[in-house]
């Protein structure tokens, strides 16, 4: 095949490939007490794969179809399936352990909500969870999103996990307890200062853990993977489940309770508290659209709906544009 002079170019290649949007629902049966998780999984590989791009040499290619099959296989056999961080680490570890020339795996797991229907009010054996034994409902479009990199570049027996977890699409609204004033006023300013307004956002949160030292799977099939022993680099035990619960709680609590002077100030309070409550978290990033609701001006018909802002009752939701406020907060 003619390369049309391309071979004369000096090129570097950064290559990564795999399967996207692998959809899986897993049922775990503890007698009559069932658990379900639904995940959208992306699994990408890096390693000595350049020749598949540069020389059409597929001998180094684990087919993306096989990567999909491995995802379903691990969904069946992994003891870590119910916790997205743990499952992502297991899948990544399995991939880099199974293939000598693969040095990094990048796994994203997006978890959709299935919450027990609060009928019957049955309790699990452990007495923690309540609700129906095997019927669930979608109680929100927000997702738990986990991004994991399993890095084997220091050796297959010295695996390191880099984990970023978070929440996306958590839609919230409060009808008071939010103001916005004292901003720059110049020739471009039309916005009125308000001591009371609607505050609504769709929370996108990412929090990064300190790197996790991963245990090497004890068996040839890489299924015996004792994540309970995983430690962060500073020696603290890694607690993905506890952090996830506290992160969601603190986000909702601060949103509800903060007397918000701006989206910026409320965002910073959320991030600060998340860091204070979770020693293993290094950085917190929030991205918060300011979804505007505008009081409808009815003065043309002799009805006051705009002033004072605290008396406004009818609002027009504005789909676009929205503000977009984001920040990453880390420890000193
Ligand atoms: O909380 C806010 N932050 C802003 O930066 C901003 N800008 C704006 O027009 N409204 C708001 N609200």
pLDDT tens by residue, 171-207: 999 999 999 999 999 999 999 999 999 999 999 999 9
Q: How confident is the model at residue 238 (pLDDT cuts 50, 70, 90)?
A: confident
Q: Would residue 19 show up in a list of annotated catalytic residues for this protein?
A: yes
Burial tier of 306 (Cβ tally within 10 Å: 0-12, 13-18, 19+) = middle
pLDDT tens by residue, 275-295: 999 998 999 999 999 999 999
Nearest to 251 by CA among 209, 204, 289: 204
Per-residue confidence (pLDDT) for residue 4, from 0 to 100: 54
CA of 323 to the centre of ligand 1 (A): 7
Of all protein residues, the one whose alpha carbon is nearest to atom 7 of ligand 1 is: 323
1 pLDDT exceeds 90? no
User: How far apart, in whole angstroms, are the C-alpha atoms of residue 59 and residue 73?
Assistant: 23
226 pLDDT exceeds 70? yes
CA distances from 99 to 24, 62, 152 (A): 23, 9, 11
The lowest-confidence range among 13-22, 128-137, 252-261 is 128-137
Work out the average pLDDT over 237-242: 85
Per-residue confidence (pLDDT) for residue 63, from 0 to 100: 98
Per-residue confidence (pLDDT) for residue 228, from 0 to 100: 67
Burial 201-224 (b: 16+ CB within 10 A, else e): bbbbbbbbbbbbebbebeeeebbe
Report yes or no for ipTM above 0.85.
yes
CA of 331 to the centre of ligand 1 (A): 26
Per-residue confidence (pLDDT) for residue 3, from 0 to 100: 53
Q: How confident is the model at residue 128 (pLDDT cuts 50, 70, 90)?
A: confident
CA of 301 to the centre of ligand 1 (A): 30
pLDDT tens by residue, 57-97: 999 999 999 999 999 999 999 999 999 999 999 999 999 99
pLDDT tens by residue, 130-159: 999 999 999 999 999 999 999 999 999 999
Q: How confident is the model at residue 115 (pLDDT cuts 50, 70, 90)?
A: very high
Testing ligand 1's pocket by substitution, the residue of 323, 324, 325, 326 carrying the most ligand atoms inside 8 A of its CB is 323
Per-residue confidence (pLDDT) for residue 262, from 0 to 100: 98
Per-residue confidence (pLDDT) for residue 236, from 0 to 100: 66
Is there a contact between 177 and 262 (Cβ–Cβ < 8 Å)? no
Work out the average pLDDT over 243-249: 97
Q: Which residue has the higher pLDDT, 127 or 246?
A: 246
Q: How confident is the model at residue 9 (pLDDT cuts 50, 70, 90)?
A: confident
Per-residue confidence (pLDDT) for residue 217, from 0 to 100: 81
| Ligand 1 contacts CB of residue 79 (under 6 A) | no
Work out the average pLDDT over 121-138: 88
Pairing of strands 199-209, 231-232: unpaired
Q: How confident is the model at residue 120 (pLDDT cuts 50, 70, 90)?
A: confident
pLDDT tens by residue, 99-111: 999 999 999 999 9
The share of the chain scoring above pLDDT 90, in percent, equals: 84
| Ligand 1 contacts CB of residue 324 (under 6 A) | no
Per-residue confidence (pLDDT) for residue 45, from 0 to 100: 98
CA of 142 to the centre of ligand 1 (A): 24
Q: Which of 34, 64, 134, 231 is catalytic?
A: 64
| Ligand 1 contacts CB of residue 198 (under 6 A) | no
Per-residue confidence (pLDDT) for residue 13, from 0 to 100: 93
Q: Would residue 292 show up in a list of annotated catalytic residues for this protein?
A: yes
């Amino acid at each position: 095949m003619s390369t049309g002079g391309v071979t004369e170019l000096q090129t570097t290649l950064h290559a990564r490939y795999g399967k996207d949007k692998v959809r899986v629902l897993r049922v775990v049966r503890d007698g009559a007490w069932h658990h379900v998780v639904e995940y959208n999984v992306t699994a990408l590989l890096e390693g000595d794969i350049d020749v598949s791009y540069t020389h059409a040499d597929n001998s180094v290619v684990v087919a993306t179809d096989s990567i999909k099959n491995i995802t379903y296989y691990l969904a069946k056999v992994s003891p870590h399936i119910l916790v997205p961080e743990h499952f992502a680490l297991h899948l990544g570890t399995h991939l880099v352990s199974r293939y000598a020339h693969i040095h990094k795996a990048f796994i994203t797991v997006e978890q959709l909500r299935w919450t027990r229907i609060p009928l019957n009010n049955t309790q699990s054996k452990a007495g923690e969870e309540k609700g129906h034994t095997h019927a669930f409902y979608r109680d929100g479009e927000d997702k738990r999103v986990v991004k994991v990199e399993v890095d084997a570049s220091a050796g297959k027996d010295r695996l390191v996990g880099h984990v970023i977890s978070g929440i996306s699409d958590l839609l919230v609204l409060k009808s008071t307890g939010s103001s916005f004033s004292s901003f720059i006023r110049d020739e471009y300013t039309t916005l009125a200062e308000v001591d009371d307004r609607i505050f609504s956002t769709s929370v996108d949160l990412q929090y990064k853990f300190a790197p996790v030292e991963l245990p090497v799977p004890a068996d040839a099939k890489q299924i015996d993977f004792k994540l309970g022993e995983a430690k962060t680099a500073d020696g603290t035990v890694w607690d993905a489940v506890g952090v996830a619960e506290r992160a969601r709680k603190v986000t909702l609590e601060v949103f509800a309770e903060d007397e918000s002077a701006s989206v910026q100030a409320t965002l910073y309070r959320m991030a600060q508290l998340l860091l204070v409550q979770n020693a293993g978290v290094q950085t917190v990033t929030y991205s918060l659209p300011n979804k505007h609701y505008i009081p409808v001006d009815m003065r043309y018909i002799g009805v006051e709906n705009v002033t004072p802002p605290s008396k406004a009752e009818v609002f027009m939701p504005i789909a676009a544009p929205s503000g977009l406020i984001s920040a990453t907060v880390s420890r000193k």
